[in-house]
Amino acid sequence: MKRKILAGNWKMNLDHLSGAALAKEICAGVDAARSACEVVLIPPFTTLPAVAGAVRGSAVKTGAQDLYCEDEGAYTGEIAGGMLRALGCAYVLVGHSERRHTIGESNALVTRKLRAALRNGLIPILCVGELLAERESRKAVDIVASQVRESCEGLEGEEFSRVVVAYEPVWAIGTGRTATPEDASDMHGVIRIIAKELFGTAAAEHLPILYGGSAKPETAPALLAEPEIDGLLVGGASLKASSFLGMMPR
Ligand code: PEP
């Protein structure tokens, strides 16, 4: 049995004071529940040190929302993987759809960021997902397959064994419209087929694939009941301890 992952992407919400308070509340809930699930908090960069302090001594892990593809140098405004590791970060999102579509990150940049994460000992959560128009024109499978293929091309098997993928249909993110468990599960199956093609059966079976897109306490149990769904990446519903903890698999 793979360990399920529940990750909360706080996006550009919560400063270091409110973030630390929420992290403490979540840690208390996670530690009391003694769940086998891996819980990850992903605050904004400036909130990260306070959250790292708040989770110290608990089972809860931290992650960052992005990193730069180089390890140091003249890259004003960017944050390197090593800086995140120094803060105790375990995870980092790579290629979140808000970065791909709002900020304009290309697949090529996402690939370089994925490598930077691995090089710096971070677990990358590689986000992939189709736009509504792509789903409606039946291109979703091709889009997601090519995002996975392009991002992971050339990785060694050992590197791929440290990757987590999050399937996040863009039309479901922040819209209140959750994918059905069947639709999410079908796409997770596609991602696993690509992983098998690139890295073999064992690697594909080992790969954790999270679902993200308006997941809430009401929709989480049915999503998590799908054998193909290894956990959830949660945005809006991760900003309150009660709703986030309400999605934790028991
Ligand atoms: C996300 O930002 O990764 C996400 C899934 O957001 P939401 O849950 O708000 O759709």
CATH code for residues 57-228? 3.20.20.70
- Segment 73-101 mean pLDDT: 97
Q: Is the pLDDT of residue 154 over 90?
A: no
Give the mean model confidence (pLDDT) for residues 67-76.
98
Ligand 1 lined by 235 (C-beta under 6 Å): yes
* 170-200 pLDDT per residue, tens: 999 999 999 999 999 999 999 999 999 999 9
pLDDT tier, 125 (very low <50, low <70, confident <90, very high otherwise): very high
Query: Which residues carry out catalysis?
Result: 96, 168
pLDDT of residue 250: 74
In percent, how much of the chain has pLDDT > 90? 95
pLDDT given at position 59: 94
| d(C-alpha 2, C-alpha 178), whole Å | 24
Mean pLDDT, range 110-131, rounded to an integer: 97
The residue extents of the domains of the chain are: 57-228
Ligand 1 atom with least separation from CA of 236: 9
Q: What is the pLDDT of residue 231?
A: 98
In this prediction, residue 100 carries a pLDDT of 94
Residue nearest to atom 4 of ligand 1 (CA): 235
Say yes or no to pLDDT of 153 above 90.
no
How far is ligand 1, taken at its centre, from the CA of residue 211, in Å? 10
Distance between Cα 132 and ligand 1 center (Å): 15
Q: How confident is the model at residue 7 (pLDDT cuts 50, 70, 90)?
A: very high
Query: What does the pLDDT read at residue 195?
Result: 97
pLDDT grade for 2, boundaries at 50, 70 and 90: confident
